Amino acid sequence: MTDVETLGQHACCGGSVRFLRHQSSELGVPATFGIFLPKEALAGEKVPVVHVLGGLTCTHETFLIKSNAVRFAAEHGIALVAPDTSPRNTGTAGEDDEYDLGTGAGFYVDATHAPWSAHYRMESYIRKELPALTESLFPLDGNRRGIMGHSMGGMGALNQALNHPEFWKTVSALAPICHPSVIPWGRKAFDAYFGGDPAKWKECDPTLLLRSGHQHPTSILVDQGLQDQYLADLRPDALVEAAKECGQALDMRRHDDSDHSYWFIQTVIADHLSHHAKGLKA
Amino acid sequence: MTDVETLGQHACCGGSVRFLRHQSSELGVPATFGIFLPKEALAGEKVPVVHVLGGLTCTHETFLIKSNAVRFAAEHGIALVAPDTSPRNTGTAGEDDEYDLGTGAGFYVDATHAPWSAHYRMESYIRKELPALTESLFPLDGNRRGIMGHSMGGMGALNQALNHPEFWKTVSALAPICHPSVIPWGRKAFDAYFGGDPAKWKECDPTLLLRSGHQHPTSILVDQGLQDQYLADLRPDALVEAAKECGQALDMRRHDDSDHSYWFIQTVIADHLSHHAKGLKA
């Protein structure tokens, strides 16, 4: 058992929000994450769990406190696990220089190129290390595990679910980066983390994954605001087209007046928890 | 009409969250506030409005984004107005030195002592200037105006309602500072802002206001967590006792497992919006 330090614990909506830190073997540094345990879990019942991935610049706390997700997770008796968006304080040269690379911008991939490859291993962290750790500590049901995220985290959730559909039983995304390999954010991160190897792109680009035969057995829920200031870089149409071509069920809901903010997330979050509850508690 | 600059505008829960900046005549500096307009207000209907006051270190944004209040305000068709917790960048010596005095810590009083008295006039700002401004800009019903707040802001809400019960028709508070003149936070702020004049205390201490005959015609709703790390400084028992002695209706709800955080606020916020809706929409 890894040593885990409790940094904070707060009663919320009948359950408990906790912040924990552990020495991550994948990341090679201490990592902090948040978790919400509904009252059913506090009573010892094994509950479904949804992992929530934040966007650029977010921490392990941002999505939990700003999204309103806890209220609806409590209503459904679902736990939430919220990792950070990158390793921190790794000593990697340049990691704090830009908001969209390094700290706060791990893109949920395993870097293969130095200097990033030593610590920037968020893909393995959120799929291998964090679920195993949290499921060893708390009554979370590994057979009922979903994933969702916002923006860069929406991309991470889609990539995880399409690469490992047996591991993540349900998936949804809020304003996700749908086709990172063709836009500046994604190309910059992929060029750094993969050293310019385009062969890696198809493993972490939701649109390319769909085009190369990856699918998820459930319908994917995506919400996208049409006033989103980053709409041109998110490429929801590419995801819709790829899903249509391969027969992937996808419910892409577009909202005329919504932007990219947590105000948008607060507007639709109840539907995302209902989506996961329906899939995980069926 | 004062010039008002819109800093941000976000669709949320069918309505609109906006952040606005204006040159405040009371504060003598530009002031930023947040507002939530429910869909009824966007359609031109005059709606009830609840002013929400944050605690120490908070900005005009904190309570709105972290409390979940917007969702329930939308359900009730109520607007929210969220002022900052102090003036900012006034140039007052020492205003940024401590978290509990100056910037982020205006205590919602009008300072009478130099150097604070030039700009630190939050009592007048939130009662005179901000309601008049927002009600001139948006369809808010000045006859249906409530106030609530958290911690220092809970104290501010109680003081406003007890001093001006005709102005604020409903009132509630979350973990408020109930008896500031006998605890370190309050004494430090009052000594600075009032230059050690204890005669001012009775105007801005909820417990002293009740003891000196001030009352509110409605029942006051207060929620207080018993795991609150500041419980000894909040003095809820003093407020309960003073209310009992003078016959003020007060619903002090104590929660065994809750602390002072926004996780606690998220747990009870729905009841506060219901409380104000009941009073303002009767």
- String of DSSP letters for B85-138: SS--S---TTTTSBTTBBTTB-TT-B--STTGGGT-BHHHIIIIIHHHHHHHHS
On whether the CB atoms of residues A130 and A83 are closer than 8 A, the answer is yes
Q: B39 touching A, CB under 8 A? A: no
How high is the ipTM of this complex? 0.94
pLDDT digits (tens, 9 = 90+) for A68-83: 999 999 999 999 999 9
Residue A196 pLDDT grade (very low, low, confident, very high; cuts 50, 70, 90)? confident
Whether residue A14 lies within 8 A of chain B, CB to CB, comes out as yes
In whole angstroms, give the CA distance from residue A84 to residue B177.
Answer: 34
Query: Is A10 close to B264, i.e. CB distance below 8 A?
Result: yes
Nearest to B13 among A10, A13, A266 (CB): A266
Contact of B251 with B198, CB cutoff 8 Å: no
A200, A202, A207, A211 alpha-carbon torsion, rounded to 10°: 170
Closest Cα to residue B143, out of B15, B282, B39, B273?
B282
Judge contact between A239 and A222, C-beta under 8 A: yes
Active site residue A150: no
Count of Cβ atoms closer than 10 Å to residue A39 Cβ? 14
Residues from chain B that touch A262, judged by Cβ atoms under 8 A, are 65
pLDDT digits (tens, 9 = 90+) for A28-52: 999 999 999 999 999 999 999 999 9
Per CB-CB distance under 8 Å, the chain B contacts of A257 are 11
Task: Compare all CA atoms of chain A with the CA of B75 and give the residue at the minimum distance.
Answer: A267
According to CATH, the topology of domain A4-280 is Rossmann fold (3.40.50)
Rounded CA gap, B255 and B258, in Å? 6
Q: How far apart are alpha carbons A109 and A123 in whole angstroms? A: 4
Task: Answer yes or no: B51 catalytic.
Answer: no
Contact predicate B172/B221, CB 8 Å: yes
Residue B243's CB is within 10 A of a number of other CB atoms, namely 24
Extract the tokens encoding B69. 């209040």
Query: Averaged over A98-102, what is the pLDDT?
Result: 95
Determine how β-strand A30-37 pairs with β-strand A79-82: antiparallel
Average pLDDT of B49-73? Answer: 98
Nearest by CB to B266, which of A71, A259, A267? A71
Q: So where are chain A's domains?
A: 4-280
Could you count the other beta carbons within 10 Å of the beta carbon of residue A167?
Answer: 14
Q: Is B151 a catalytic residue?
A: yes
* pLDDT, mean of residues A124-141: 98
Q: What CA–CA distance (Å, rounded) separates A127 from A26?
A: 11
- From the candidates B151, B172, B216, B272, which is the catalytic residue? B151
Q: Cβ atoms within 10 A of the Cβ of B22, count?
A: 19
- What number is the average pLDDT over the span B121-127? 98
> Does A208 have pLDDT greater than 90?
yes
- Nearest by CB: B17 against A66, A255, A263: A263
Q: Among B255, B267, B271, which would you mutate to test the A interface (most chain A Cβ atoms within 10 Å of its Cβ)? A: B267
Is B42 within 8 Å of chain A by CB? no
pLDDT at A233 over 60: yes
Q: Are A100 and A179 in contact (CB under 8 A)?
A: no
Residues constituting chain A:
282
CA distance A68 to chain B (A): 6
Of A151, A172, A205, A276, the catalytic one is: A151
Of A11, A13, A70, nearest to B259 by CB-CB distance is: A11
> What are the beta bridge partners of residue A220?
A250
Residue of A nearest to B14 (CA): A267
Of A17, A11, A15, A81, the C-alpha closest to A49 is: A81
B62 Cα to chain A: minimum distance (Å): 10
Q: Do B11 and A266 touch (CB under 8 A)?
A: no
A11 vs B266: CB contact, 8 Å cut-off?
no
Respond yes or no on whether the N-terminal peptide bond of residue A180 is cis (omega within 30° of 0): no
Distance of alpha carbon A263 from alpha carbon A254, whole angstroms: 15
> What tens digit of pLDDT does each residue of B149-195 get?
999 999 999 999 999 999 999 999 999 999 999 999 999 999 999 99
The partner residue sitting opposite B66, judged by closest CB among A65, A261, A264, is A65
Q: How far apart are CA B176 and CA B170, in angstroms?
A: 16
Q: What is the DSSP letter of A43?
A: T
pLDDT of residue A2: 63
The first and second tokens of residue B70, run together, are 């917007």
Q: Which residues contact A69 (CB under 8 A, 6 or more apart)?
A: A36, A52, A63, A80, A269, A272, A273
Nearest chain B alpha carbon to A264: B12
> Across the A/B interface, how many CB contacts are shorter than 8 Å?
60
- Assess whether pLDDT exceeds 70 at residue B2: no
Backbone angles phi, psi at B250, to 5 degrees: -145, 125
Q: At B13, is the pLDDT very low, low, confident or very high (cuts 50, 70, 90)? A: very high
Q: Strand A170-174 and strand A140-150: pairing? A: parallel
Q: A54: pLDDT confidence band, cut at 50, 70 and 90?
A: very high
Residue-averaged pLDDT of chain B: 97
CA distance A263 to chain B (A): 5
Summarize the confidence of residues A238-248 as an average pLDDT.
Answer: 98
The shortest C-alpha distance from A267 to chain B (Å) reads 5
Would you call A227 exposed, middle or buried from its count of C-beta atoms within 10 A (0-12, 13-18, 19+)? middle
Among the partner-chain residues A65, A68, A258, the one whose CB lies closest to the CB of B71 is: A68
Strand B220-225's sheet: what is its strand order?
Answer: B4-12, B15-23, B30-37, B79-82, B47-53, B140-150, B170-174, B220-225, B250-255
Q: What are the phi and psi torsion angles at B246 (to 5°)?
A: -100, -5
φ, ψ of residue B188 in degrees (nearest 5)? -60, -45
Answer whether B244 touches A (CB < 8 Å). Answer: no
User: Which residues of chain A neighbour B262 with C-beta distances below 8 Å?
Assistant: 65
Residues of A in contact with B267 (CB under 8 A): 11-14
The answer to whether the CB of A14 falls within 8 A of the CB of A74 is yes
CB contact under 8 A, A263 and B225: no
Q: Name B143's Cβ contacts closer than 8 Å, sequence gap at least 6.
A: B169
Which one of A66, A70, A259 has the shortest CB-CB distance to B10?
A259
Scan residues 60-79 of A and list those with Cβ closer than 8 Å to B. Answer: 65-66, 68, 70-71
Name, in order, each residue with C-beta under 8 angstroms of A247's C-beta and a sequence gap of 6 or more. Answer: A215
Best of A63, A266, A268, A273 to disrupt the B interface (most B CBs within 10 Å) is: A266
Confidence of residue A258 (pLDDT cuts 50, 70, 90): very high
Mean pLDDT of A228-245: 98
Task: Check: CB of residue A146 under 8 Å from CB of residue A126.
Answer: no
pLDDT in tens, B219-268: 999 999 999 999 999 999 999 999 999 999 999 999 999 999 999 999 99
CB atoms < 10 A from the CB of B241, how many?
A: 16
**Identified catalytic residue from A22, A216, A260, A276:** A260
> Which token pair is A24?
């991550």
> Would you state the pLDDT for residue A282?
83
